[in-house]
Amino acid sequence: MSEVRGENTDADAELAWKAAELATAWVSVSTPLTESQGWTLVGLQHMGSGQGEMYAWNKVGAWQRQLTEVLAADDGSEESRHRVTAAKRAAASAMRDMLLAGIPAGVQTNQTWSDGLGPDPREELRRFVETHTGRVA
């Protein structure tokens, strides 16, 4: 059982990382996340309640602001490029953690409210990656 759980954990982390990299690429200085993009990221976190979704919305907004601040300060210097690279890596890591936490939250929400018949959170992440890359995740 622990081997399967470990394999799922690794596969989940890889899937969440791919999705996080895509979400991080959406953020730029000139174009903030659209409302639709923001709610997509919130939905993938499967908060299970309106209050939880508002918490996730605020977390996504803070995540975007932190990254945008570093991108806006980019002056083209080598030091600045390193800061931008580090900020993008940190943003992708933070988003991965948010999305990864959404997997068990989605499973629990489905069992609580849909008798296990709700959308599979892993499948939703796969669909997100496929939609935004054109490749099967």
Radius of gyration of the chain (CA): 16
Between the alpha carbon of residue 33 and those of residues 18, 48, 101, 102, 131, the distances in Å are 18, 23, 21, 20, 17
CB 18 within 8 A of CB 32: no
Q: pLDDT by residue for the chain (137 residues), tens digit each?
A: 444 455 588 999 999 999 999 999 999 999 989 999 999 999 999 888 889 999 999 999 999 999 999 999 999 999 999 999 999 999 999 999 999 999 999 998 888 877 777 789 999 999 999 999 987 66
What pLDDT does residue 6 have? 55
Chain centre to alpha carbon of residue 120: 16
pTM, rounded to two decimals: 0.88
